[in-house]
Amino acid sequence: MILRATAVRADVRTGDRCDAPSGPVSVSSSASTSASVSMRRPLLRLALVAGLGLSLGACSAQYRNHGYTPSDAQLSEIVVGVDTRDSVAETVGAPTSAGILAGSDYYYVSSKVRHFGAAAPKEVERKLVAISFDDGGVVRNIETYALEDGRVVPLTRRVTNTGITDKTFLRQLLGNIGNFRPGGV
């Protein structure tokens, strides 16, 4: 805002007054400046609190459930020696997986995995229900296993040697010159 006014300046140190010549003077309101600063502070605080909350929330543990296992109440409805494959599937649902062979056992598997920040996911709970059947398709046994019952199976990586190590493409190409036979093509 530009006003024509006579500006009055007071020298704080000496207490003297000085009248400045009149002319265009830019006036800035200290009230509007302090209002904009006071408006920015709560927004800054809010952004800081929100950022802190999000960063702490990212470090909290998150749990994910995978799979399905029937409850103990559902398993108590299955009668060993009486129920068949169809009645088991009707009572507790379709199995998570079945054995490799046709007419194999039913397996219900569930697990709970903990994700914590940038750390690798860790399985904290696993439950396996194995329902085995006899040759006639009647329930023979119901077994329940937990993570504590399991064993860690080390996986080995088997790599077949190709025999082309330490040879560049150009070396292999030039090495094949003269090795072609018309009868082999």
CB 5 within 8 A of CB 25: yes
The mean per-residue pLDDT over the stretch 121-143 comes to: 89
pLDDT at residue 11 greater than cutoff 60? no
Q: Measured between alpha carbons, how far is 125 from 68 in angstroms, rounded to an integer?
A: 13
> Do residues 72 and 131 lie in contact, with contact meaning Cβ atoms separated by under 8 Å?
no
Q: What is the pTM of this model?
A: 0.52
Helical segments of 59-97, H only: 72-76, 85-92
Give pLDDT tens digits for 38-89: 667 888 888 888 887 777 666 778 889 988 899 999 999 999 999 998 899 8
CB 84 within 8 A of CB 139: yes
Structure tokens at 118: 């940038």
Looking at 74-78, 141-145, 166-170, which range is the least confident one?
166-170
